[in-house]
Each structure stands twice: as structure tokens, then as C-alpha cells.
Amino acid sequence: MKKFYVSLLSLFLAVGLLVGCGQENTNQENTQTAETETEESVAITISQDNGAEVIAEEEIAIEDGAILMDVLKENFEIEETDGFITGIEGVTSAEGEEKYWMYDVNGEPATLGANELELSPDDEVVFDLHGME
């Protein structure tokens, strides 16, 4: 009879451990799902000649206080000289060509350099290589 009680107790302990572990895993999944749902992002488009050719378009997750230049460097191949972007994804102005990388945020021309602009969730940034107008 003693063996029966020991076996029964062992069975209850095993079931308790399995149920407890299952609930912990469910809680972790719920936490991960909540984090994914609240992840903030921006849309970045790289183009040239006033949008005539799209080079890249990406939806990029950002953290609070993200700076545009940092996000660009983490997600694209960036070339710069003296703080000015001279190439993105290998696209540069040809020698003697008067084209420059300009960018808009939410349809408005940027008033700060990319190394100073703090992004906000859902910003739409368009970098375009084109001539001065």
C-alpha cells in the first residue's frame, strides 16, 4: 500500500511540474506577442531622380529616441564625407554631376541633418539623389 501512495504522490508532482512549466511558457509567449505588437517602426525609401527609380524600400523597427543616421547605417550601406551622405546602397553622384542626397520626412523637406533628426514612430522618410532645383 505504501508503494501505491508513493507512486500516486510522484504522479501528482510530475503533473504539477508539467502544468507549471506549460503556464510559464504561455506567459513568455504572451509577453513576446505583446512586445511585437507594440514595436514602433518607420518607413524608409531610397530613390533617385525625384523618385523615378526606387533603390530600396524598408519598414524598419526603431527604439525610442532613434537618430536617423544611426538607423540608416544599421540598415543600409552608407558612404559619407565630412558628415554629408555621398552614397546609399552603392548609389553615388557621378563625378562632375551636381546631384545630392536630399531627404523628406512625412512629405516635408528636412530641416536638420540626418545625424540630428530624432525619428518618431510611423515617420515616412524618403532619401532621393537629385540635382538642386
Residue bearing the bigger pLDDT, 97 or 129 = 129
- The pLDDT-based confidence of 3 (bands split at 50, 70, 90) is low
Query: Are 64 and 12 in a shared domain?
Result: no
CB count within 10 Å of CB 70 equals 15
Query: Are 117 and 62 in a shared domain?
Result: yes
d(CA 124, CA 108): 10
Section 2-14 average pLDDT? 56
Query: Are 12 and 75 in a shared domain?
Result: no
Phi-psi region for residue 83, left (φ > 0), alpha (ψ -120 to 50) or beta?
A: left
d(CA 77, CA 87): 8
Question: Tell me: the pLDDT tens digits for 16-51?
Answer: 555 555 555 555 555 554 444 568 999 999 999 999
Domain span at residue 14?
A: 1-38
Q: Which of 74, 46, 47 is nearest to 60 (CA)?
A: 74
Q: In this structure, which amino acid lies at residue 66?
A: A
Query: Are 78 and 109 in a shared domain?
Result: yes
Pairing between strand 124-131 and 40-48?
parallel
Query: Are 12 and 45 in a shared domain?
Result: no
Query: Are 54 and 102 in a shared domain?
Result: yes
Mean pLDDT (the chain, rounded): 83
Section 97-101 average pLDDT? 93
Query: Are 46 and 7 in a shared domain?
Result: no
For 2, 4, 23, the CA distances from 12, given in Å and listed in that order, are 15, 12, 17
Question: How many domains does the structure of the chain reveal?
Answer: 2
Q: What is the DSSP string of 10-62?
A: HHHHHHHHHHHHHHHHHHHHHHHHHHHHT-EEEEEEEEETTTTEEEEEEEEEE
Q: Which of 64, 73, 70, 71 is nearest to 39 (CA)?
A: 64
Read off the CATH number of the domain in which 97 is found: 2.170.130.30
